[in-house]
Amino acid sequence: MKHLLTLEQLSKEELLDILNLADQLKFEKKNKIPHPILKGKTLGMIFQKSSTRTRVSFEVGMHELGGQALFLSSRDLQIGRGEPIQDTARVLSRYLDGIMIRTFAQKEVEDLAKFGSIPVVNALTDYCHPCQVLADLMTIREFKGGYEGLKCVFIGDGNNMANSIIVGALKLGMKMSIASPKGYEVCEHIQDFAKNYPGMFEMTNDPMVAAKDADVIFTDVYASMGQEGEAKERLKAFKGFQVNRQLMNVAHKDCMVQHCLPAHREEEITNEIFEEHANEIFEEAENRLHAQKAVLVKLMS
């Protein structure tokens, strides 16, 4: 593995390899066993969108691995004034040992990898959010003991989160069902990907159909970063697409709930369900740290 640009690029074995290392690093941290595997290495972190979890977990992660992280806001970089990604990639490759980027177009991440000469990690694009889903998969195994035979459900927008969850779940042998409003379904590329897993993928416009017998239910905001202008229209379109008591009643009794956060309570999820599942949701947030450290070790050590 040279970069982490999407989950599609990882084999099942590579995926499990990262998750196993993440478990090990979490264990070591809990037991105060230091692991300065990236001593002397520097990760650059380019942010073209806001972040709480991603920024802090990458920065702390590099520190715990013995290296350092540089926060590079695109507002301050010359990228913000139009310097092309090809040039930025070639310059930063001469200073850094790895780059993490959060941006809009997936092509920018791909170009950074293409023109640079150091590992690139996708920390969210409009297309996908692989780091988040590694943490989600780690959390599912922690709570459920494995993956095979579980039913994963996503309620809401066919967005970056949905795309990565579908890929990750199917690769690890889970069934995947997604319910989105008409016009907000996942893109054809992801639908084509799912065709490689016959009988394992279901797409519907009815949240109750998707949630039936679920073992894990995911949701995400109605309007993602960059879609603020569509917020009103989306609020209308997503009516009924909510993780609430009624929906949970058709899922398995011990069904988990996952949310990448930030959450909009009483929109995509009720406050009641959110708080009932808070320990799973905040474990998921914590696991961002461990999963990303595993990715950094795989790419930069």
Residue ranges that bind ligand CP, judged by CB under 6 A: 51-54, 124, 132, 260-261
52 vs 249 by CB, closer to ligand NVA: 52
Residue with tokens 């009641």: 272
Half-sphere exposure of 137 (CA within 13 A, CB side): 32
Instruction: Determine contact, residues 174/240, Cβ cutoff 8 Å.
Output: no
Beta carbon nearer to ligand NVA, 92 or 152: 152
Asked about 129 being catalytic, the answer comes back as yes
Is residue 159 within 8 A of residue 124, CB to CB? The reply is no
Q: Of ligand NVA, ligand CP, none, which one sits near residue 297, judging by CB under 5 to 8 A according to partner kind?
A: none
Task: State in angstroms the smallest separation of the CB of 263 from ligand CP.
Answer: 10
52 binds, among ligand NVA, ligand CP, none (CB under 5 to 8 A by kind): ligand CP
CA 45, distance to chain mean position in Å, is 16
Q: How many helices (H) and strands (E) does the chain have?
A: 12, 9
Is 164 or 180 the residue whose CB approaches ligand CP more closely?
A: 164
Kindly state the smallest distance separating residue 223's Cβ from ligand NVA, in Å: 8
Distance of closest approach, residue 94 Cβ to ligand CP, in angstroms: 28
Is 87 annotated as catalytic? no
Q: Which of 132, 242, 258, 292 is catalytic?
A: 132
Structure tokens at 281: 């949701």
Cβ of residue 225: shortest distance to ligand CP, in angstroms? 7
Q: Would you call 260 a catalytic residue per the annotation? A: yes
DSSP state of 94: T
Alpha-carbon Rg for the chain, nearest whole angstrom, is 19
What residues contact 65, with CB distance under 8 A and at least 6 apart?
A: 35, 36, 37, 38, 39, 41, 293, 296, 297
Catalytic residue of the set 53, 55, 102, 234: 102
The yes-or-no answer on residue 220 being catalytic is yes
Q: Which amino acid is at 111?
A: D
Strands 216-219 and 151-155: parallel
Return residues touching ligand NVA (CB under 6 A): 124, 159-161, 220-221, 224-225, 260
Catalytic residues, by residue number, are: 102, 129, 132, 220, 260, 288
